[in-house]
Amino acid sequence: MSFRERIVGLLREFPAVIIHPFQFVRECLRDRDQEIDNCDPRGKTNS
């Protein structure tokens, strides 16, 4: 695999890695505004 192919592969993988954590946080904050706690890492829903 050439150096260039490796870079292209990384760039193809990277957006998902960057976008998904922020998407999770955004959904988290939206749900917390509705008093649904999806941010709890243990997965408890205390309303």
pLDDT tens digits, residue range 1-47?
Answer: 698 898 888 777 776 666 666 776 777 677 666 665 556 655 555 44
In the prediction, which pLDDT does 8 show?
A: 85
Instruction: Extract the tokens encoding 4.
Output: 């260039």
Per-residue confidence (pLDDT) for residue 47, from 0 to 100: 46
What values do phi and psi take at 39, rounded to 5? Answer: -85, -15
* Greatest Cα-to-Cα distance within the chain, rounded to the nearest angstrom: 53
pLDDT computed for residue 33 by the predictor: 66
Structure tokens at 33: 């505004």
Residue-level pLDDT at 39:
61
What pLDDT is recorded for position 20? Answer: 65
Q: Is the full-model pTM beyond 0.85?
A: no
